[in-house]
Structure 1
């Protein structure tokens, strides 16, 4: 179901992202806290807001798989098939992350990436031209919000911009599946 995306909503989110701020935004799974994934100071703000341990890596969103080569050194051919044929949101953890803020990359050098299929996210990512951090809009250890109304006031008050799009949409708010894919093409599910 396609909804109208307000250009002003996108422009305000872009302005905040370009200035190293945090946004609260809907994704193809659940509401997320986002920032420029290439800006270490912005990524640090996400960890601070969530009270998240630095060892717990974050995922990033891209709007299409052509961008993968900009952020991953070696992409197994099977990755493109998985992205094309998956029916529900899938985050793939790749080895050899590059061109990202060091604090967004896991200690083993990997990065979780999801190609989004969501009107607002796609338009925002196309215009921003950089990957976005996406992490659930909650304090670490608390339940992930299933919809906008489930997000705590603490989170809403500490981001720099709250996206208007999707605030009244009710969804089942499920996190994506997460799969670790090594350069040889071998994979394992970390979360189904």
Structure 2
């Protein structure tokens, strides 16, 4: 009696506005997680974008992030089950070391971060996409969650957090719209958990999120 071929490992890209609860949802799913925040550029990188009319670095712009390195890590995880990743300290805006992640043989893992939607197309073309989800809880709720989290973790100065929070609250609907246009399915926590369970069982929803 022949054995069934192993189910290939694929990635669920989990995006959404900063503070929407991506990390908590990923942890609750029970799936292995790749933190895409570890692929931010360092604070002295001359290619970092600036907020229009301000000297603040725009950490919410895709150009503040190394998409090529993130995609390479995802593809290696899907192919081999392990990869090396940088360790990034958001409060220092710097990489402070390196680590490795080993997910073993699993049908799916989550790559979560605010820029996950930026690589939906590349992951689909590489044949490694299981699903792409955009988590949204509403601008006011997200603002409160984001500010309290960032304040607790000391990510940036309080004035910076307030400026960023106000800017992101006003832009939240357009952020969700952009991520949806890039191929991420906008949903609440319960629907996201259902789709993550499907991915964990080896059921690929990538074709349903294609654009």
TM over 0.5, yes or no?
no
Report the TM-score, using the length of structure 2 for normalisation. 0.26
> Which structure features the higher share of helix residues?
2
TM-score, normalised to structure 1, is: 0.27
Larger radius of gyration: 2
